Structure formats: structure tokens, C-alpha cells
């Protein structure tokens, strides 16, 4: 009988991994990948919709958000300043930092938010 040993976990599988980027993998995909539906077992649809609504509101003030991000020294400061200046929750501010501020990204988030609203309305 051959005995194999478990390989050490890479950084992306440690507990230090952020929860919010997993949410964005569902929204932000490159167009050359095949579409597949993934579920987020650790997030309810209402929480996802709350995050999307905050992100969409911040997209309307994209230049101000970019100025806050440029002026912040680290992630914690950026989250705090976004929460103060734009009245966002901690989840919304954290998600906004991890998100590219492009029109394509905004369209995908708006589409996903509309899908969630339709699903929740049933």
C-alpha cells in the first residue's frame, strides 16, 4: 500500500482569504469563459442585492470614489472613508475596493441585481 501525504495548502485556500472576492467571481467573468451558474452558499440573495445596490449607487459618483481610493493609505482607511463619505455598509465598501470601476463591470452588476430582484419577487 502506497501512502501519500497531503500537500500544504496554497495561500488562496487559507482562512485569510477574503469573502467578498468570491462574490465577484460570480459577477465579473471574462467573456471568453463559458457561462456557468455558481451559487454562493454563504450569502443570501438579500445580502448580495444590498451589496449590488451600494455598488451601483457608488458608480454614479465614480470620480469621487476613485479620489477617495487614491488618497487612502491602506485598505482599512479606504473602507472607513468610503463608508463615511458615501454612507455605505462595510460589505459594500469592501466590495467596491475589489471592483474595477469600468462600464462593463457596472452593466454586469446591474444585470445580476435585476436577476436577484426578479427572483426575490416571485
Q: Output the pLDDT for position 31.
A: 43
Tell me which residue range forms the domain holding 101.
20-28+42-121
Q: Output the pLDDT for position 8.
A: 58
Q: How far is Cα 48 from Cα 42, in angstroms, rounded to an integer?
A: 10
Q: How far is Cα 86 from Cα 63, in angstroms, rounded to an integer?
A: 12
Q: Output the pLDDT for position 30.
A: 46
Q: Output the pLDDT for position 121.
A: 83
90: in domain: yes
CATH number at residue 48: 1.10.268.10
Q: How far is Cα 89 from Cα 95, in angstroms, rounded to an integer?
A: 10
- Counting the structural domains of the chain, the total is 1
pTM over 0.75: no
For the chain, residues with pLDDT lower than 70 are: 1-43
Amino acid at each position: 500500500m502506497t501512502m501519500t501525504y497531503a500537500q500544504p495548502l496554497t495561500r488562496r485556500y487559507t482562512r485569510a482569504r477574503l469573502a467578498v472576492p468570491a462574490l465577484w467571481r460570480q459577477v465579473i467573468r471574462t467573456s471568453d469563459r463559458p457561462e456557468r451558474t455558481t451559487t454562493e452558499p454563504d450569502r443570501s440573495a438579500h445580502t448580495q442585492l444590498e451589496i449590488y445596490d451600494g455598488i451601483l449607487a457608488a458608480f454614479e459618483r465614480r470620480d469621487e470614489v476613485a479620489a477617495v481610493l487614491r488618497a487612502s493609505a491602506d485598505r482599512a482607511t479606504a473602507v472607513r472613508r468610503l463608508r463615511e463619505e458615501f454612507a455605505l455598509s462595510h460589505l459594500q465598501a469592501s466590495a467596491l475596493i475589489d471592483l474595477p470601476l469600468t462600464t462593463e463591470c457596472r452593466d454586469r452588476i446591474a444585470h445580476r441585481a435585476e436577476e436577484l430582484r426578479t427572483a426575490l419577487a416571485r
